[in-house]
Structure 1
């Protein structure tokens, strides 16, 4: 049910090599003009109580060399990804940069200090090589004078938590980050509500057979918001976790850049 749809989300697991800031061939404006880059994180949901990720630094670069990353911020902070649904975001970093094209962003995660809570029990997660290399994303972000470029990082909690072992021998957990980056300026959103609230559904925006955004409806009022969607037509699929209710789809939902498409309340049928 939910797992099958979550597996449709595009898989973006990126392993990093170091990249440099080389001003001589970078295309960065030498006239002193600057703009701002802001990096926001949000989450694709998962069937856990918590997924806690510790972010050490956020960096960008504007070349293909092997050193010279520019630090946007050093949060040194843990974030529960499952709190970043329904349009909620967390600012990972914001900084003024010389005008030009920045080709990559990377997150430096601690090799420790990550955890997942399953059925009320907390388990530590290990990041293979995370502290040494980080997670690199190709973005080609264009920084313009006196404007803010807002980048959305969709951290897919369900695909990022890897379980090893079994209940008999004992389970362990790895964090292998799966992240998708989009430019907020070229995206729109879909918002609505689901009833009955106790259907407790996941909500997906699907196009061309791929799930491009997902969230969990608010357990108190059934409201949901799917963000970071490129302009186009989507099917909104509501998939209850309460087995007393069945899946309900809304077809041909149009998304326009810079706008939020508001849907009428979606009522899921009983099984």
Structure 2
């Protein structure tokens, strides 16, 4: 096991202990469930035997379904490592040394999984990871190193599967095996406690078709959420029968209340960026079941949201997405999401646009 190379001053340890370890700048921290004894990290130097208090980050991953050409059946990625920013330096979680070898079971192991299986509230547990006490704003996901086959670069553990008669498409992840990709979101690690963190890997924004080459690039957009402080929207498009199940495909985008401007064509959200992606400022998204109109937006932080329902006509190339409803809640100030709560929402596209 590698020794941790950063040296902590004893005064910093005293400060962390006095502050309870995980307080944010305003003195608050997410509640965490105590999970028994957690290891104490050693930070040896020639003059001090200071020890760093630790807690546990229980990490899982979820996804929003993508808009991709063709019949995509699976999007596989391989995560080879997790890094955290500690004392201004990035460190692999497996390089962090602690006293009790019992916690060797917390070491992160490489995992390959299908992102398309992880939406509508489904998630995959990645592991319990020991971290030093403190306030965190981001972690970094390392993916397998790219390889070059002829002129094509790809990451062997990252690829897209289509229908039975279509070949697998490789995914190239620029810098994925070197600097990795950041997941951003505030959370606190407190001493002798466990906190559950959900990494929302937004495939909708992350997979890019490169120009006319047809090659697929993965540029991950990852949102970190404290699971126990998040809520869910369970919605229904009540007039789903007015849509053609063969030719229409509905998606719902969640925006922080008041941040979506429906003015068109001035609305930048309706205009694709250089990668062809729309609705870039949305926080989360999901597809609508075209049979019953149901949809689920999971792992949303507490707050108010505007829901933008969009129709992507199937097999009509060059057609812009069509906004068919903007739901702002009963009072026009947004749909309210509370922690550990499921919020029901009815979307009626026949009422849009409002008179």
**TM-score, normalization: structure 2?**
0.59
2: CA distance, partners of 1:148 / 1:263: 32
Alignment of 1:62-81 (within 5 A): 62-65=86-89, 68-71=91-94, 73-81=107-115
1: CA distance, partners of 2:308 / 2:188: 34
Cα distance per residue 1:190-220 (max 9 Å; x no partner): 1123334835421111231242111112456
> 2:341 matched to which residue of 1?
259
Given that 1:22 and 1:62 are in contact with CA atoms closer than 8 Å, whether structure 2 keeps it comes out as no
2: CA distance, partners of 1:269 / 1:22: 63
1: CA distance, partners of 2:67 / 2:137: 34
5+ residue gaps, structure 1 = 1-18
Structure that is richer in strand per residue: 1
Alignment of 1:172-251 (within 5 A): 172-194=215-237, 195-196=240-241, 198=245, 200-207=249-256, 208-209=259-260, 210-218=281-289, 221-242=292-313, 247-251=324-328
> 1:16 matched to which residue of 2?
none
Question: Which of the pair has the greater relative contact order for Cα pairs under 8 Å at 6+ separation?
Answer: 1
The worse-fitting range, judged by mean Cα deviation, of 219-228 and 155-164 is: 219-228
Specify which of 43, 57, 60 is matched with residue 37 of structure 1: 57
Is 1:114 the counterpart of 2:185 in the alignment?
A: no
> 1:85 matched to which residue of 2?
119
SS in 2 for 1:85: coil
SS in 2 for 1:74: coil
5+ residue gaps, structure 2 = 22-39, 41-50, 95-105, 146-154, 261-280, 315-321, 330-334
**TM-score, normalization: structure 1?**
0.75
> 1:94 matched to which residue of 2?
128
Deviation at 1:100, TM superposition (A): 3.2
2: CA distance, partners of 1:147 / 1:268: 46
Given that 2:82 and 2:92 are in contact with CA atoms closer than 8 Å, whether structure 1 keeps it comes out as no
Paired residues, what number?
A: 247
Deviation at 1:20, TM superposition (A): 7.0
* Distance change in 2, residues 1:163/1:240 (3 Å): closer
Deviation at 1:178, TM superposition (A): 1.9
* Distance change in 2, residues 1:221/1:40 (3 Å): farther
* Distance change in 2, residues 1:126/1:247 (3 Å): same
2: CA distance, partners of 1:251 / 1:129: 39
2: CA distance, partners of 1:20 / 1:138: 25
